[in-house]
A and B are shown apart, each in its own frame.
Chain A
Amino acid sequence: MSDLRDLYQDLILDHGKKPRNFRKDDACTHHAEGFNPLCGDQIALFLRVSQDGKVEDACFQGKGCAISTASASMMTAAVKGMTVEEARRLFVRFRDLITGVDPSTSDSELGKLAVFDGIREYPNRIKCAALPWHALTTALDGNADPVSTE
């Protein structure tokens, strides 16, 4: 089994303690809520998507563990400025990374998100990292139902 530091890397701890884009956006165009009933994590995600399909702003609020908070923080930073299609592609790439479907981190697409590389060694924590991303796709789909990790 790998070292705890592979999971709790400095970048993750930093974003977990001081999440970026941690605010509410009453004027958002897309919104979704996510729950992890296993540990009580919850996240509210707010997106502003322009007419031509660009994510102009992304922010979130909620309470969660270091992993889910860092994941939400880094996700909102990553998708800001992307087109909706690019954001959806990044979700698939991130999901494949953390579930081990495609563990390579050599491509530039993931950027800083490659730091979540170590999480696949902790199967019961994958849901924590995935929760904000499921909220992202739900928000982009315009689905009003809260998303759950279960």
Chain B
Amino acid sequence: MSAATVTPAERIDVDAIRAEFPVLHQQVHGKPLVYLDNAATKHKPRAVIDSQTHYYEHDNANIHRGVHLLSCRATDAYEGARARVRRFLNAAEDAEILFTRGTTEGINRVARSYGELLAAGDEILITHMEHHSNIVPWQMLAKRKGTVLKVAPIDDAGQLDVAAFERLLSPRTKLVSIVHQSNSLGTINPIAELIAKAHAVGAVVLVDAAQSCSHLKVDVRALDADFVVLSSHKLYGPTGVGVLYGKRALLDRMPPDEGGGDMILSVTFEKTIYNKLPHKFEAGTPNIAGVIGLGAAIEWVESKGLDAIAAHEDDVLRYGTQKLCEIPGVRIIGTATHKASVLSFTLGEIHPHDVGTVLDMEGVAIRTGHHCTQPVMDRFGVPATARASLAVYNTRADIDALCAALHKAIEVLG
């Protein structure tokens, strides 16, 4: 992968990076915090925290309407963040960047709004490794419009069966919604190839980039993606903010799914004229501070470099995979050739929830459960897994702490 192109000079100085994250420097239950729950949410560097504080202390005002200076500054900061997201995703224009509450809202918005353009019998294709947020909205659409949901299978390593995916594509397929990187398995899908295959039958493609965008370049024009969704908080930004990218040609055709202030040009009781993009899809006062924080987060990520971040995480992932395999009873769930940042596993017959509690007492924070991917758990015949997931601030020492805590779990529960 592209990580191989990182030169020594561009390598991550992980000690310097850790110093930028205030939350990492604390003890939990009397032990130094080892945070390995980054697929759930990542911590925020000082620059992101400061950007929000600065906004509230200096610029706080509503956007797009005031004539006063603070409103102008707030609007500039908000729209500046939109321009930064546009460059980050290499979109053609700012108006194609819509702010949402997060990935989940982005997918729901496409299902509600683009879904209005679909008819009974139209097919939507997803994969077996999707997060519940990329399953349930399509089930809701199926109920509402009579569309049909199809699911492409995965193999025992947690990789998409691309041949089966291709067989499920047909002229009836109107929309393909696929995850770029699986949150519970770590699998990276060959997204460009899948988009090309979907386009060949005339389907539009939504890419869930929630897990991938913090270490993989998502270039919407190089990929020719129709929709891309992501969450700020998985990209070192604040919670409650996300992005829905859509091609203008599609967004222009789509009806707004929420009415209110800011999304209109004129309102009378007889007739309302909707605002132009992107405002058509941003009714009401948005999370202004959150959007500004997202802009700061992207600036921070770009200053480290996605390739350098990926190279660092890959080193820790390889080390972690090797170390976990040395522990008796560990079964790694998700062994795709192309994967990143996620170590999902079970530990003998010990339930992952019990593993999680013992690890917590040792200061090690992981996620346990089905990770909002119950079909994946069913596929592998487990009710849940323990999941350690990485960010740029994790180290090999974090893996050593994880392994020591797992030995403790075996001692207490084994």
Contacts and interface: CB of A to CB of B under 8 A. Distances in A.
Contact of A1 (B351, B354, B361, B413): B361
Contacts of B167: none
8 contacts: A4-B357, A40-B370, A40-B377, A40-B384, A64-B351, A69-B351, A124-B357, A128-B353
A40 B351 CA distance: 11
Interface string B351-371: 111100110010000001110
Contacts of B354: 8, 65-67
Interface in B128-149: none
Nearest to A128: B353
Given A40-B384, A125-B357, A66 B413 contact: yes
Given A1-B30, A65-B351, A122-B357, A39 B413 contact: no
B27 to A, nearest CB: 11
Given A8-B413, A13-B413, A66-B413, A40 B383 contact: yes
B69 interface: no
A1 B413 CA distance: 19
Given A5-B412, A64-B351, A65-B353, A38 B369 contact: yes
Interface in B376-396: 377, 383-384
Nearest to A38: B369
Contacts of B352: 39, 65
Interface string A3-17: 011011000010001
Given A1-B29, A8-B413, 20 more contacts: A1-B361, A4-B361, A4-B412, A8-B354, A38-B369, A39-B352, A40-B369, A40-B370, A40-B374, A40-B384, A41-B383, A63-B383, A64-B351, A64-B383, A65-B353, A66-B350, A66-B351, A67-B353, A67-B354, A128-B353
A66 B347 CA distance: 13
A8 B358 CA distance: 10
B408 to A, nearest CB: 8
A5 B412 CA distance: 8
Nearest to A3: B361
Contacts of A42: 383
A63 to B, nearest CB: 5
A41 B353 CA distance: 9
Closest 5 CB pairs of A and B: A65-B351, A65-B353, A40-B370, A39-B353, A40-B384
A41 B29 CA distance: 26
B131 to A, nearest CB: 14
A2 to B, nearest CB: 9
